[in-house]
Chain A
Amino acid sequence: MSVLAQIAQEGLPAADQQNIEAAGGAGMAYGLAAIGPGIGIGYLVGQAVQAMARQPESAGQVQTTMFLGIAFTEALALIGFVVFILLKFV
């Protein structure tokens, strides 16, 4: 951890304290935003695979619904990513 911090400080020799805080906040924002969707997508896909294994004849329908669910779940992580972009680059 301290090595990474050192690397970060060395990599940003001219950066002031505020930029470092913004970078840390951005990384924190994305990291936190990725937790929930990660769990959610894992659970969702696991259930979808189980459904497909139980009823292979309805695999197409399950797959479509799975992509829809992933899209809705993923939106949270993507909003976190947008916040990261805003914090980091704006």
Chain B
Amino acid sequence: MINLLVIVVAAEEEAPPNPVIPVENEIVWAAIFFFALWAMMKFVLLPPIQRAMDERSSTIQSGKDAADAATSALGSARRDHEATLAEARAEANAILAGARAAADERRAALQAEADTEIAEMRRSAQAEIDQARAEALSGMRGDVSSLAVGAAQIVLGRDLDAGNQQSVIDQALSAD
């Protein structure tokens, strides 16, 4: 260390160039050019580059956002489409069900009408039958009494006219 100091002091006395000590003119020029570069970089050179980079990144970002928005729009459109489709399908089902119901109703009405008609016809037929039966019954009563009187005349051997029918019947009945 002392050796070094001696050498340095000796060097300064003799003033040979020292490789480590900076030289004035080089300091001056280095400072001038560096400060010029710094100022240029700060005010002229760097701002447009940074602006362009920011612009590009914002462009990319906005493009990405637009793509995201388009994707979500596509999704909502698809959902709308599906909703519309479902609605239409439901409407068709409703119409179909309505038509089916109307047809059922109509068929039921027709059937009811036919039923009442049939019942009416059956009732009138029944009435006719009843009437015919009553007529037949009343006709048959006279025939039966005359037949019975005839049969009784044959059995009794007596003429039975209308005046003594009663007495004959009463006699026959009291003889028992």
Contacts and interface: CB of A to CB of B under 8 A. Distances in A.
Interface of A: 22, 25, 82-83, 85-87, 89-90
B11 interface: yes
22 contacts: A22-B3, A22-B7, A25-B3, A82-B20, A83-B4, A85-B19, A85-B20, A86-B4, A86-B7, A86-B8, A86-B18, A86-B19, A87-B3, A87-B4, A87-B7, A89-B19, A90-B7, A90-B8, A90-B11, A90-B16, A90-B18, A90-B19
Interface of B: 3-4, 7-8, 11, 16, 18-20
Contacts of B20: 82, 85-86
**Interface of A, helix, strand, loop or mixed by DSSP:** helix
A22 B8 CA distance: 12
Contacts, number: 23
Nearest to B19: A85
Closest 3 A/B residue pairs (Cβ): A90-B11, A85-B19, A90-B7
A86 B4 CA distance: 7
A88 B121 CA distance: 146
A20 to B, nearest CB: 13
Contacts of A82: 20
Nearest to B16: A90
Contacts of B4: 83, 86-87
Most buried by B among A25, A85, A87, A89: A89
Contacts of B18: 86, 90
Contacts of B11: 90
A85 B19 CA distance: 7
A84 B82 CA distance: 85
A86 B7 CA distance: 8
Given A85-B19, A87-B7, 9 more contacts: A25-B3, A82-B20, A83-B4, A86-B18, A86-B19, A87-B3, A90-B16, A90-B18, A90-B19
Nearest to A85: B19
